Structure 1
């Protein structure tokens, strides 16, 4: 674990003028903790493992040093820089939406380089032709999903033998079983000598062991903290089969202008959307089986405020930056405890206060206790007036059981949400 004295401003980080001017324009007033601690080490060329809460500014943490490195490289006017289908900085991400989002951020940070640095995003769900054309002659920064990148490599559209910086964003997902073969294939094509940066909000133990093979004498910075999060977490117990009624009650009572609802499958997305429609709540769905065009349209409508309710699978839990999203709801609990933190991190980003609600029935109790244990949190079980759970919960199921007194019978963990400031759309 490395502790670094945090610089007070971006100038002290050692960033160059074009980046500093752009940060002022973007109203980045001072570095976030992860930026302050990690950027100097990245500028020095060190390998890095960085863990920090979602919404903490991880993209800028790797993008700014990468752009500064590329700017210095361009200044050397190497004759081979414009030859061949090369890549200098490679950023691997797990989803299409995150690929586009990261590429857009890098292009924004690079505005004052006057087009000298080329950034391309490649991902599945769309034709490869336009992406192959964009890669003709190589690119300085490539943001890619692993599957599409392998397709482009097999078509000789790009080579990885000149990569100088590798970034794994959402590294825990990238190193998980679903991407193991693809990541292994890509790593085999990369030069041994390179800078490697891993960023994620969570690093499970099984992932930590894999990082030892990827990095050389890395700096490790871990800033994950439930206490540091600006997301208010609440848990409401409901009767089995009443989650939809509770959800409609909350949406209508508090008139949320944006609410992101997580379920565990594409079929659940459509099923819940149909049930909400019958109760006059308009919702769209977002999952991996939707075409890229449809996914982009739905996400853009939600971000712009044209759509109030979005129902999504965990494909929306990773990296998506929805500005000032007030409410996230776990209609279904995530299968993986680490995905819980990624889900709720869609709200409360960049210092904004957000609200994360989990609706659990009796069958969810044990799994939520596992989620709490893994994420080192402990939340009170609450109920909503008019929707009190009728099933008797055993003492073993209660997160904080208290002995019964000899006086009046008490109703435990019973609260009213009426007038609660955290449920209002502020």
Structure 2
């Protein structure tokens, strides 16, 4: 039975420098402490304060905490500390999506103290994306971030060497343990050395996930937030007819125009349609879904992250691995069929200690699905009235304009 470690409270927000912050008490390598500022890390979050010492001591671990609590740094800092101490060993971080691979790689690059410790991303892609991530990593690379299928292919063809891997991270482990990746993960497991430290990281942890993960972990320490931690996301449900959902979503977006927002659609077609509708209504919006090429995905994420677009309409591809701290609100066009997806979606807001807002639009025929989400997750969402929207206030760009010719 895994032991339990509760996360402690926040340290003072007045401690700003890395050397004088709470990170210095966690016994990390001084070279890493000097890099914290580049990655935007000031004081450790509660889950980081609980997890980092456990990982530095060499324990296998299950880190189960909501999105936005700093889980990536929970494992990146001890992992890089380990590689600084163990000069001949390497490490693997396995992730379910390209987007998460890129995010982890970007943060790891900011924290790396030496060129050979900079993460190299390996994932499957498209022919029109010439990024180096599709190439085999250089022999000097000691930290590889990879999606399961691409990693297994490179392990089997010996373009990635596994014998020296002594630190393994399973990020978004709940998804990696599903049938979607089962064959690839078992294939990877068979090629890895048994003598290693393994860390599973997830926002959710069902019994099925933990049972499947047991093949990878040895007597793991379970690290979770303290039960008295206050939620950082206000949540509500709005009961609205299906046909009126686009107008209701627009009303919510216009109510707080200063907040960037992610609108989750159920399908690619719905995402495309909403993107076009919002754009015609004058909103700064981009779309993101699995049907886009990798360059198009990257462009959309960059536009949203930089503030060029204030609204991202996306499928569940954005529910994991998209780390944009300033997201002020999440709008679900429908309650998700899988309750865990609800947590991953709303976890895109309320990040890094900020207060977030999440609203779910629910039609009459979707109330059963909404009740399943609430009962499974132990939630009781506040029901809010649907805001009114005057269609005359924001004319469509397609609206014919009166000719100026006399």
Common fold, TM-score beyond 0.5?
yes
Indicate yes or no: 2:274 matched with 1:272.
yes
Secondary structure in 2 matching 1:281 = coil
Q: 2:323 aligns with which of 303, 321, 324?
A: 321
Indicate yes or no: 2:79 matched with 1:66.
yes
* Distance in 2 (alpha carbons) for counterparts of 1:384 and 1:229: 24
Pair member with larger Rg:
1
Secondary structure in 2 matching 1:188 = helix
* Distance in 1 (alpha carbons) for counterparts of 2:194 and 2:53: 23
* Residue aligning to 2:396: none
Secondary structure in 2 matching 1:322 = coil
Secondary structure in 2 matching 1:31 = coil
Tell me the CA shift for residue 373 of structure 1: 1.3
Tell me the CA shift for residue 257 of structure 1: 4.8
* Distance in 2 (alpha carbons) for counterparts of 1:375 and 1:224: 17
Tell me the CA shift for residue 28 of structure 1: 3.1
* Residue aligning to 1:120: 120
Question: How many pairs were matched up?
Answer: 374
Q: Relative to structure 2, which stretch is displaced further, 144-153 or 314-323?
A: 144-153
Indicate yes or no: 2:67 matched with 1:54.
yes
Q: 1:210 aligns with which of 209, 212, 220?
A: 212
* Distance in 1 (alpha carbons) for counterparts of 2:348 and 2:333: 15
Say whether the 8 Å CA contact 2:329–2:356 is kept in structure 1.
Answer: yes
* Residue aligning to 2:287: 285
Secondary structure in 2 matching 1:30 = coil
TM-score, normalised with respect to structure 1 = 0.82
1:256/1:335 Cα in 2 relative to 1: closer, same or farther (>3 Å)? farther
1:193/1:293 Cα in 2 relative to 1: closer, same or farther (>3 Å)? same
TM-score, normalised with respect to structure 2 = 0.86
Q: Which runs of 5+ in 2 are unaligned?
A: 12-21, 390-406
Say whether the 8 Å CA contact 2:275–2:285 is kept in structure 1.
Answer: yes
Aligned pairs (5 A) from 1:67-146 = 67-74=80-87, 81=88, 88-110=90-112, 113-126=113-126, 130-131=132-133, 135-146=137-148
Q: 1:173 aligns with which of 172, 175, 195?
A: 175
Aligned pairs (5 A) from 1:329-368 = 329-368=331-370
CA-based RMSD of the aligned residues comes to 2.2
Tell me the CA shift for residue 6 of structure 1: 4.6
Q: Which runs of 5+ in 1 are unaligned?
A: 75-80, 82-86, 388-426
Q: 2:235 aligns with which of 225, 228, 233?
A: 233
Say whether the 8 Å CA contact 1:257–1:305 is kept in structure 2.
Answer: no
TM superposition outliers: structure 1 runs of 4+ over 6 Å: none
